[in-house]
Amino acid sequence: MPNNVPKKVAIGVGLMEFPFSGAASYWRWVDLCEAGGVDSIWQTDRLVSPTPFLECMSVMAALAGRTRRIKFGVNVLSLAMRDAVLVARQCATIDFLSDGRLLPAFGIGSPLGPEWKTLNLDPKTRGRKTDEGLEVIRLLWSQDKVDFEGVHYHLSGASLSPKPVQPDLPMWIGGSSEAAIRRTARLGTGWQAGPETPAQAAVVVAAIRAASAAEGRPIDDDHYGAGIPFRFGGADDPALAPLFDAYRKRTGRDPEHYFAIGDAEAIVARIADYVDAGVSKFILRPAAKGDDEIMAQTKRLIDEVLPRVAARWPKPAKRRPVTQAAE
């Protein structure tokens, strides 16, 4: 059954591991995205890693200072691994200093993540701790004094100022389990897909719509997102082999049903598959390594894909205020 047509398709870009030779190359890439009309920049969350990986909240703060137009977010922050009060303060500060450009997204963290063992954390508590943390964050963003009594958090008269600039700071939730669907319906303002194919995303979007309607707080049709690796080239490109293997190992699925590979038309076609599933916000991650390759792939995305997306899914025209003719 076809889903409602999304109001606006927006294309952001994202990174998982740090693929650049150094900070200067990273900032050249950020500047390219800012100048090229990319909607947003996203950083995957990872606290410990044997490979180079930027800490997500530090990246958000740095992007707030470096850029003036582009939005930025975390895809997605593992809240069970952090203190929710600190996260609420960090998000509010970054949103305040960036004049409302932060896009927070939260999840419970993969049980396969190395952090649980390395940091001696209990993955069995991650769902309950995340639910409490989301409630704490929501209260701190919206109330002047917060009292909260839970299993993991105990607050008495907690306050946070300045509040986020966005009056209703987005709180997108990741995950496709039944618990994640309930969490999104009860606390979230949007949903961010992970490794789901278009067909799988469609099932989750439908389930969230039904659950959020039952909660009496329907989620905007425009607030469903997906992260997709992309590459201009062929599926036999050597650079894709390790990414394909990692995806198969993690999900047991065929990566060619998930990755966007080929020319600009093929990449837009994969975006369209997700749009048909009810998704309208995208994080496209360049499947590339090295400064030159990352820059080249991103520039082609800007030059070839963004114009096609804008033509196929034009933004709704802004209503102009009605003015009375001078007497």
Strands 154-158 and 146-149: antiparallel
All domains in the chain, ordered by first residue? 10-312 (3.20.20.30)
Given a contact cutoff of 8 angstroms between Cβ atoms, the answer to whether 124 and 108 are in contact is: no
What is the structure's pLDDT at 4? 52
Q: Is the peptide bond between 76 and the residue preceding it cis, with omega within 30 degrees of 0?
A: yes
The three-state DSSP-derived secondary structure of 128-152 is HHHHHHHHHHHHHHHCCCEEEECCC
What is the structure's pLDDT at 173? 95
Maximum Cα interatomic distance, the chain, rounded to a whole number of Å: 75
What is the structure's pLDDT at 318? 64
- How many residues comprise the chain? 327
Residue 311 burial (10 A CB sphere; 0-12, 13-18, 19+): exposed
The three-state DSSP-derived secondary structure of the chain is CCCCCCCCCEEEEEECCCCCCCHHHHHHHHHHHHHHCCCEEEECCCCCCCCCCCCHHHHHHHHHHHCCCCEEEECCEEHHHCCHHHHHHHHHHHHHHCCCCEECEEECCCCCCCHHHHCCCCHHHHHHHHHHHHHHHHHHHHCCCEEEECCCCEEEEECCCCCCCCCCCCCEEECCCHHHHHHHHHHCCEEECCCCCHHHHHHHHHHHHHHHHHCCCCCCCCCEEEEEEEEECCCCCHHHHHHHHHHHHHHCCCHHHCCEEECHHHHHHHHHHHHHCCCCEEEEEECCCCHHHHHHHHHHHHHHHHHHHHHHCCCCCCCCCCCCCCC
Neighbouring CB atoms inside 10 A of 194's CB total 19
What is the structure's pLDDT at 277? 97
Given a contact cutoff of 8 angstroms between Cβ atoms, the answer to whether 88 and 136 are in contact is: yes
What is the structure's pLDDT at 320? 57
What is the structure's pLDDT at 110? 85
Neighbouring CB atoms inside 10 A of 187's CB total 19
What is the structure's pLDDT at 314? 94
Per-10-residue mean pLDDT for the chain, 327 residues long?
Answer: 64 96 98 98 95 97 98 96 97 98 94 91 94 96 97 98 91 93 94 94 97 95 95 92 89 90 97 97 95 98 98 79 46
Tens digits of residue pLDDT in 32-86: 999 999 999 999 999 999 999 999 999 999 999 999 999 999 999 999 999 999 9
What is the structure's pLDDT at 7? 66
